[in-house]
Amino acid sequence: MLYATADKDTRQLIESCFHLAIDKALRPLEREIQVRGGKGGSERLGVDGLTFARFTHHTARTVDGQVEDMQLHQHVLVINGARGSDGKYRSLDSTKLYELKDQTEHIFYKELRRRLELNLRIRTEDDGKSFKLPDVPDEPCQYYSKRSHQVKDQKEVLQQKYPNLSPLELTQKAQKSNRSPKRDINSSELFAYWKKEAQEKFGFTAEQVLGDQ
């Protein structure tokens, strides 16, 4: 909400905090991830850095052809190969990637929260594994979470059909089952639309959170 309704300079500052938080969260992976070496991949070797492909998006997928909701997020792909400590390029031992998932998320949210508080001087509070902005009302947050609600509803349907699937598998299946294709979007028009709608529908403006910056 804050990102989508703020002015351009504030959005760029939020994006900077966002990207720097991801940078910090990914660093431990380069220390912890190993490659397979030795006969039959029985040995584990340290790596000389990892290669990431990062794709930043500003919207969630459309639901039933409606205007996309705001959702600043990034997809990070880890290339399955790195130079090991023996100088040879080998495939990664992916076990550590899964083991470090929660730690990586924790570092990201903690660093993003710290940077937003420092650079925007806004209030935050704990919200489970993440955090929230208490000055942003819950009603518009729920309204602009159409895709999340769609996935949640579909997950409940699939749970009856596939009772043996794990929660993660159900979520992935729900995401794929009703995923609309990405559309070409005019970002400037979309930000203007979000800002206008949030103010007219909910009386919300970014200034209510930012105060006199």
Flag whether pLDDT at 20 surpasses 70: yes
pLDDT at 13 over 60: yes
> Regarding predicted confidence, which is higher, 23 or 176?
23
pLDDT in tens, 56-70: 999 998 888 899 999
Confidence of residue 17 (pLDDT cuts 50, 70, 90): very high
Domain ranges of the chain: 2-204
* 138-147 residue pLDDT tens: 999 999 999 9
- Taking the complete model, does pTM exceed 0.85, yes or no? yes
Return d(Cα 21, Cα 114) in angstroms, integer. 9
- How confident is the model over 25-36, as pLDDT tens digits? 999 998 899 888
Query: Which percentage of the chain shows pLDDT scores above 90?
Result: 67
Residue 91 pLDDT more than 60? yes
Q: How far is CA 175 from CA 95, 138, 168, 169, in A?
A: 24, 24, 11, 10
